[in-house]
Amino acid sequence: MKRLLWIVLLTGCPKPPAAEPLAFQTLGSFEYKDKMKLPEDVARWNGKLVRASGFMNPTSQARNLTTFLLVKDRASCCFGKRPQINHYIEVKLKPGATADYASDPVTIQGVLKVDDRWDGDWQLGLYWMEGAEVLK
C-alpha cells in the first residue's frame, strides 16, 4: 500500500487537458452555404476543450442565464443585428451554473462541438458548447 502511495506521489495525478485558445476569426472566416462540408481548419476544433473570448448576446433576459450566444463583436451583440451562423457559439453552461449578462467581453471555456444541426428544413446552429463555464 505504501509502495502504491509512493508511486502516485512520484508520478503525480493526471492533469486535466489544457484548454486551447480559439479565435472567432478561425470559425467565421469562410462563407457558409447550406449543408456544406466545413473547412478542415474549422472541423478540426470539434471535440476540443477551448477557451474563447467574445461578447454575450443579451436575449430576452439579462440575469441568471443558463444559455446564451457568444458573438465575436459588439455590433452583433447589442445593436439589433443578428450574427451570421458561423459567427457565434451557442453556449450552455454547466448544470446548476448561471451567468448574468455583461457588456464587457467575456471568456468561456468548454468542449466545442462543430456540428451543422438541422431540424428538417431549419438549421439549428453550427457551433455548440455544453457544460461551459464563464471564466471572466
Partner 1 sequence: MIFALLFLLQDSAKIVQEVEYANAKDKPQFHVQAVRKLRDRGGPAVAEEIAKFVAKNGHNSLSIAFTEGLGGLLDERIAALLRELVRDKEFYWRPTALRALAEQADRRSLEEFRAALGDRLWGCRAAGLLALEKLDDRVSIPRIRELLGDDVYDVRAQAAKTLHAFGDSSGLPVLVEALRANTVWFDIDYGQIAREDAWNFLKKVAKDDFGYKPWESVEERAPGLAKAEAWIAKTMPDWRSRVPEKARVRAEQTEYQFGFELRSCQRGDFFFRIDQEGNLVLGYFTLEKAKLSDAELQALKAALDSVKSVDRSIPYGQGGCDFEQYYLRTGTRFEKLWIGLQGRPTRVEPFTRVVLDLVRKKFGERTAEEFKQSSDIFRMSE
Residue 75 Rama label (left phi>0; alpha psi -120 to 50; beta): alpha
What is the smallest separation between the CB atom of 59 and partner 1, expressed in angstroms?
5
Spell out, one character per residue from 56 to 95, where the chain touches partner 1: x when CB under 8 A holds, - when not.
--xxxxxx----------x---xxxxx--x----x-----
C-alpha cell at 24: 472567432
102 touches partner 1 by CB under 8 A: yes
Query: How many chain residues interact with partner 1 (CB under 8 A)?
Result: 24
- Report the distance separating Cα 14 and Cα 6, nearest Å: 15
Single-letter residue type at 115: D
Cβ distance 77 to 88 under 8 Å? no
For residue 76, the minimal CB distance to partner 1 (Å) is 10
Residues 106-135 that bind partner 1 (CB under 8 A): 121-125
- What is the C-alpha to C-alpha distance for residues 110 and 128, in angstroms, rounded to an integer? 10
Q: Looking at residues 15 to 44 of the shown chain, list those that interact with partner 1 (rule: CB under 8 A).
A: none
List of residues contacting partner 1 (CB under 8 A): 58-63, 74, 78-82, 85, 90, 100-104, 121-125
